[in-house]
Amino acid sequence: MEIRTIGATPLALTQFGFGGAAIGGLYRECPRDDAIAALQTAWDAGMRYFDTAPFYGFGLSERRTGDFLRSKPRESYVLSTKVGRLLRPVPDNQIPDHSYVNPLPFAVDYDYSYDGIMRSFEFSFARLGLNRIDILYVHDIGAYTHGPEKNAVYQKQLLDGGMRALQELKSSGAISAYGLGVNEVEVCMDVIAQSDIDCILLAGRYSLLDRSAERGLLEECRKKKISLVIGGVFNSGILATGPVPGANFDYGPASEDILSRVRSMEAVAKSHSIPLAAAAMQFPLRETVVANVLIGTAKAASLTRNMDLLNVTIPEAFFAEVEQFTIK
């Protein structure tokens, strides 16, 4: 599998990596054996980059990722997790509903301050059971998650102290790179205008369908040598399922406008005799600032099916024809 470096650092990732939300029970329960089987399938496919977060199953994904990687030679893989949320133990009847099924018994508190990021980093080591984390992403900063008023407070926390924590961790060698893990372009532009970062894990905003990142972010990343890690290549499912009844886009039911766009894309894909999902997986890596595409699933069979799509050759004419149907 091709290797690409992160920003101006020597850190290198396989071009596809494993995203750990689903093994934390996102939307449906994921038994431990299924999680380990999915991780093993990713490893067998050649993936050597694994991303997780405290939020995924309220610690469950980190525990499972660490359990799997503990037996692997430490120099053979790259691991990222996230900061910005602290977990707090609560009684079972107070576990919040954030779409994780049977998560660990914790509530989630946002904290983007210097101390909050340092605490989150230390707590992740305990959950992972590992002694090194390569990349830290600031998780879900931005108005998309918090709304404008709350985000103004959290963004000030980050810029006034949280970024200093990340800089110190990198300078000391505790981590090799840091950046943002978000679902929106605007906060990326805000942060990189005021801080130096190495990478952005951007979910759903540089896909075959949603090209929001082309509104200035790609160019800024090129200028500042910031790498993109792309999540959500199927835009919550619709680029994998097609425009079927009940198809999801951006974590909710797809609108008629989105269904219409994807119907048109699907028709173009059929005219070229290619699966739309294959084009969705391969699209982001056509851009040089993209270092990695994350594939997240709790099922080994689904991961195998997705990896088989990489063997499909997508003609350049297809990408040119579907551009008219994209969101920009």
Phi and psi angles of residue 265, each rounded to the nearest 5 degrees, phi first:
-65, -40
82 a catalytic residue: yes
Among the listed residues 51, 111, 134, 250, the single catalytic one is 51
- Report which residue type is found at 58: F
Residue for token digits 């909710």? 252
Mark whether 150 is an active-site residue.
no
Determine which one of 56, 77, 137, 206 is catalytic.
56
Cα diameter, the chain:
56
C-alpha–C-alpha distance, residues 143 and 150, integer Å: 8
Q: Which residues of 9-48 are buried (b: 16+ CB within 10 A; e: fewer)?
A: bebebbbbbbbbbbbbbbeeebeeebbbbbbebbbebebb
Q: Which two tokens stand for residue 228?
A: 């993109």
Alpha-carbon dihedral sign for residues 255, 251, 197, 162: positive
Annotation marks residue 144 as catalytic = no
Identify the residue whose tokens are 């300078």: 171
Residue at 223: amino acid letter: K
Instruction: Please name the residue ranges forming H helices in 80-202.
Output: 114-128, 143-146, 148-157, 163-172, 186-192
Contacts of 324 (CB under 8 A, 6+ apart): none
Catalytic residue among 49, 77, 82, 170: 82
Q: Could you list the active site residues? A: 51, 56, 82
